[in-house]
Amino acid sequence: MTRAIHLIVPAPFSAISGGYIYDRRMVEGLSALGQEVRVVELAGRHPFPDEGATEAARAALAAIPEGARIVIDGLGLPAFLPLADELTRRGATALIHHPTALETGAPVGVREALKAAERVLFSACARIITTSTLTARDLPEGFGVDPARITVIEPGTDPAPRAVGSAGPGCAILSIGLLVPRKGHDVLLRALARLTDLEWSLAIAGDATRDPVHADGLRALAAELGLAQRVRFLGALPAAALDAEYARADLFALATRYEGYGMAAAEAMARGLPLAITAGGAIAEIVPEDAAVVAAVDDHTALSRAMRRPIFDKGLRAAMAEASWRAGQALPRWPDRAAAFLKALDHG
C-alpha cells in the first residue's frame, strides 16, 4: 500500500494563479498514477503569516499520520517556522515556485524576515522541488540550500489550438497575471501610454482580490494615462473564457518583475502567440529570442520601444508567432511532470 501524499497549501486551493494551477495539475497527475493525494488547506494570512496561519500550520501537521509523505507549497511554508524541527523529523518536501522573500511590494524589513525564515525552513526540509532551473540556481547561494536536495520539475502545458488573432483593426494585446506589484502591469501601462499613435487594445486577466489596493491603483493609473478606453480589466477568468482571450489575441505581454517560471508565457507559446516581456526571473529563459521582444525589468521606456514594431508590423508578428508556435510544441506536458514529481518525492 502506498503512503498517502498530503499537499499543504494556503486556502483556497481553487485560487487562480500559476502556482495554484501547478499544484492542482500535480494532484490530478499523481492521482492518475494511482497515488492517494490529500489536499490540506491552511487558514490565515500567507506568505506573511499571522497567528491564524501559524496555528493552522500546527494543526495541519498534527493531523497528518506518521509515515505520510508531506509536501508544503512555498506560499504557506513561512507559517511553519516554529515547526522546523518537526518538518525535519517527518522528512517534509518544500514545493517552491519562487521564494516568497522575492515577492515585490512588501516592505524591505518584511522581505528580510521572510528570507531568514526561508533559510531555516529550506534547510529543515528533506528535499526541495522547484519549478524552474533559475530558482534551483538561486537557492544554494541565496538561501544556503544543498544543491543535492534540489530537484527541478518545470510546469507542463496542454496541447492547445493555435491562436487565430483578432483580425484587426489594430493589435489586440493580452496580459495574464495576478494584479500584484510583482507582475508589473503598471510598467506595461506606462509603456503603452507612449504608443497611443498606434492602434492597439489591452486585456488584463488576473485576480484583483489578492491586493485590492494595488488593483485599484492600476485602474486609476490607466485612467490617469488616458488609456481607460483601451484597457479591459477582466479579473480572474475561468478556463474557457481564458482560452477565448488567448485565441483572439495578437500579442502576449507581461512586464513582470520576477517569475519563478512563467506559466502564462508558456501557455501563450503553446498557442503560437508572439510575446513582449521583461527579463524578470525565469521567464526570459523559456521564451526563445525570435519569438519575443524583451526589455529590462522596470524600464517602461525600453519596453515601449521594443513593443512599437510588433504592434505596428503584422509581418513581424507573424514571424514571431511561427517561432513561438515551434517552441510551444516542444514544451513538456503535464503527465510527464507528474511522473517526475513522484520520482523526486520518493527518491530525492
Query: 2 pLDDT exceeds 80?
Result: no
- Split at pLDDT 50, 70, 90, the class of 104 is confident
**What would the 3-class secondary structure string for the chain be?**
CCCCEEEEEECCCCCCCHHHHHHHHHHHHHHHCCCCEEEEEECCCCCCCCHHHHHHHHHHHHHCCCCCEEEEECCCHHHHHHHHHHHHHCCCEEEECCCHHHCCCCCHHHHHHHHHHHHHHHHHCCEEEECCHHHHHHHHHHHCCCHHHEEECCCCECCCCCCCCCCCCCEEEEEECCCCHHHCHHHHHHHHHCCCCCCEEEEEECCCCCCHHHHHHHHHHHHHCCCCCCEEEEECCCHHHHHHHHHHCCEEEECCCCECCCHHHHHHHHCCCCEEEECCECHHHHCCHHHEEEECCCCHHHHHHHHHHHHHCHHHHHHHHHHHHHHHHCCCEHHHHHHHHHHHHHHC
The predicted-structure confidence for 113-156, as pLDDT tens digits, reads as follows 999 999 999 999 999 999 999 899 999 999 999 999 999 999 99
Query: 167 pLDDT exceeds 80?
Result: yes
pLDDT at 18: 85
Determine the average pLDDT of the residues in 263-276. Answer: 96
Query: 1 pLDDT exceeds 70?
Result: no
Q: What percent of the chain has pLDDT over 90?
A: 86
The predicted-structure confidence for 34-86, as pLDDT tens digits, reads as follows 999 999 999 999 998 999 999 999 999 999 999 999 999 999 999 999 999 99
The predicted-structure confidence for 223-265, as pLDDT tens digits, reads as follows 999 999 999 999 999 989 999 999 999 999 999 998 988 899 9
Higher pLDDT, 107 or 174: 174
Average pLDDT over the chain reads 94
pTM: 0.82
Determine the average pLDDT of the residues in 190-205. Answer: 98
Determine the average pLDDT of the residues in 84-99. Answer: 96
- Split at pLDDT 50, 70, 90, the class of 348 is low
pLDDT at 103: 75
pLDDT at 107: 81
